[in-house]
Amino acid sequence: MRKSIATVSVSGTLTEKLAAIAAAGFDGVEIFENDLLVSPHPPEEIRARAADLGLTIDLYQPFRDFECVPGPLLAANLERAEHKFRVMERLGADLLLVCSNVSPATIRDDDLAAEHLRLLAERAAEHGVRVAYEALAWGRHVNEYLHAWRVVNMADHPALGTCLDSFHILSRGSDPIGIEAIPGEKIFFLQLADAPLLAMDVLQWSRHHRCFPGQGTFDLARLVRHTLNAGYAGPLSLEVFNDHFRQAGTGRTARDGMRSLIALEGELEGASHPSVPTGFAFAELGGTGELGEVLGALGFARTGAHATKPVELWSQGEARLLLNATGTQAPALVAIGLDSPHPTGAVKHAESLLSPVLPRERAPEDAPLDAVAAPDGTEIFFCDTAWLTDFGPGAAAPGEITHIDHVALTQPLHYFDEAALFYRSVLGLQPQESLELPDPYGLLRSKAMSSAPGGDVRMVLNIAQVGAGHTPWQHVALATGDLLATARRLRADHPDLLLPIPANYYDDLEARHDVDPELRELGVLYDRDEHGGEFLHLYTITIGRVFFEIVQRTGGYQGYGALNAPIRLAVQHAGQPMMSQ
């Protein structure tokens, strides 16, 4: 299917937008009027620029507050429309979006609306222009897509059709099945936007929080399927108003939009992910030194070394950590290895979603292993078991720690939605709970993703909406079969390694739950879910950008101890104050 995007969806000047949109592989654009008005280039030049880039101008928009107005205003509105038609002729655009009237001057009268839109269509046709009427979710009288269609149907003019916009339809909770009752040739255009579920005024929700398909909670595949069933043959066009996208890199956002449409097409075709990861093969940490000591204290043993690179393998049970001494950076999580049932399939799938394989140095004897970059730069490797042979024959060390439970990464503010889409579409993880957590100097937004509800690959994406100077922390959570035993040993042998937990926390915890007093003595945090599942966890201090969490889940507990995260954040900040007093 043809793919388009509204210029309002990305940052930049109009010519920057066009270049980035073409580079991302789109076929066409919706020109948002404001982008043209503020451009120093005349419409003819924009037309030529788009043509040179191989882009069609599929729509010009929006034309507002036209229909159902008293007589004198109608004449003025038709005059206003004539001007738009002339601009569109210069631009080479032949479809005008008219959104339903929001003005207090509009009259509640469908016959009148149809009559006015018919007049508009007649004038448009004289310029070779067609008109697509769209119900804004906050339109004064027309705010439902089937209402807009009824008016279009009553007007009965070949140059008048409707424009469907997934946000306006789904934000109001309308059932998109009704789309199938509209003749496909009367659906002149389809705009797609997703959004997170928010209880707020629908206009504010639309203007600030729209996002690309797959980044929110709407079922866009279902809506598109109904539209295709109706016989719609036009483009899938992204129309996103988003405060962060307006500030983010133009090319990056355009590429992300293209990725969302490729993933959506895959969903429409019923394609399942070729290789959803089944576990963590390893987590790789850059910068060594102290890290080896910490891993030793946590019960890990150095069980191998890479044959050709300065990389050590530390293991305990099925938990494997690589320490990479290349470069001189502060300790940080640089890569994640995922057990992939079909690594080459996973890599091909990633490439089809615009995540190219990273260039890597590889000695002839090294096992083949490919990685792609996550939006925050973390390398994601798709592994079978061959990679382990590069580290020699060493056996895993026994210990309480059994495997990597989850990995938490801090995302750049403007790329949080991009990260969510990456983990969902490229890796096949499903979004789980989203939370907002208080930090002493801001608010932390967090989204958990996993290979299935309760699956073996769990990732937590955080964005730190805190003051400048905050370290983007990352952490690796290690599962233990006996957290109290691990805690006792650490408390006895390496007390400085553990994050101290305030007594106030235990005073409150003991009032809420009947817990073992040893939790307080050991500095162990506790959570319980509504089914009685329990979560015991503790944290190490931060080394460079990384810290470790040790966790024990019992009784099917699926969360991450979110209730305790603010305690952890406050203690971490106390150790590393970010504001000069």
Ligand X SMILES: O=C(O)c1ccc(O)c(O)c1
Contact set with ligand X (CB under 6 A) = 61-62, 97, 99, 134, 136, 165, 191, 206-207, 239
411 labelled ligand-binding: no
Task: Supply the minimum distance, in Å, between the C-beta of residue 3 and ligand X.
Answer: 17
> 368-371: long-range contacts (C-beta < 8 A, 24 or more apart)?
369/343, 370/343, 371/335
Task: Supply the minimum distance, in Å, between the C-beta of residue 136 and ligand X.
Answer: 6
Cβ distance to ligand X smaller for residue 11 or 206: 206
Applying CB under 5 A, which of residues 191, 324, 378, 451 lies at the interface with Mg ion? 191
Name 301's bridge partners.
Answer: 315
Which of the residues 231 through 250 are near Mg ion (CB under 5 A)? 239
Which of the residues 321 through 350 are near Mg ion (CB under 5 A)? none
Task: Supply the minimum distance, in Å, between the C-beta of residue 96 and ligand X.
Answer: 11
Q: Which of 213, 216, 163 is nearest to 192 (CA)?
A: 213
576 close to 560: Cβ distance less than 8 angstroms: no
Give CA–CA dist 14/272, Å, rounded: 37
Q: Which two tokens stand for residue 328?
A: 């001189």
Residue number, nearest CB to ligand X? 62
Q: Which of 149, 163, 186, 170 is nearest to 58 (CA)?
A: 163
- Beta strands 187-192 and 236-238 are parallel
Give CA–CA dist 201/198, Å, rounded: 9
191 labelled ligand-binding: yes
244 labelled ligand-binding: no
Backbone angles phi, psi at 398, to 5 degrees: -75, 160
Task: Supply the minimum distance, in Å, between the C-beta of residue 181 and ligand X.
Answer: 22
Residue number, nearest CB to Mg ion? 165
Backbone angles phi, psi at 68, to 5 degrees: 65, 45
The helix (H) or strand (E) run that includes residue 221 is helix 220-229
- Residue 61, contacted partner among ligand X, Mg ion, none, CB below 5-8 A by kind: ligand X
- Residue 10, contacted partner among ligand X, Mg ion, none, CB below 5-8 A by kind: none
Secondary structure of residue 410 in the 3-state scheme:
strand
- Which residue shows structure tokens 């400085």? 496
47 CB-side CA count, 13 A: 12
Task: Supply the minimum distance, in Å, between the C-beta of residue 165 and Mg ion.
Answer: 4
Task: Supply the minimum distance, in Å, between the C-beta of residue 67 and ligand X.
Answer: 15
Count of residues in contact with Mg ion, rule CB under 5 A:
3
Give CA–CA dist 282/295, Å, rounded: 14
Task: Supply the minimum distance, in Å, between the C-beta of residue 441 and ligand X.
Answer: 34
Which of the residues 480 through 509 are near Mg ion (CB under 5 A)? none
Applying CB under 5 A, which of residues 27, 58, 94, 165 lies at the interface with Mg ion? 165
Q: Which two tokens stand for residue 500?
A: 């101290």
Q: Which two tokens stand for residue 212?
A: 């690309």
226 labelled ligand-binding: no
406 labelled ligand-binding: yes
Cβ distance to Mg ion smaller for residue 101 or 340: 101
Give CA–CA dist 3/258, Å, rounded: 8
Bind-site residues for a divalent metal cation? 134, 165, 191, 239
Bind-site residues? 134, 165, 191, 239, 406, 475, 549
* Chain contacts with Mg ion (rule: CB under 5 A): 165, 191, 239
Bind-site residues for Mg(2+)? 406, 475, 549
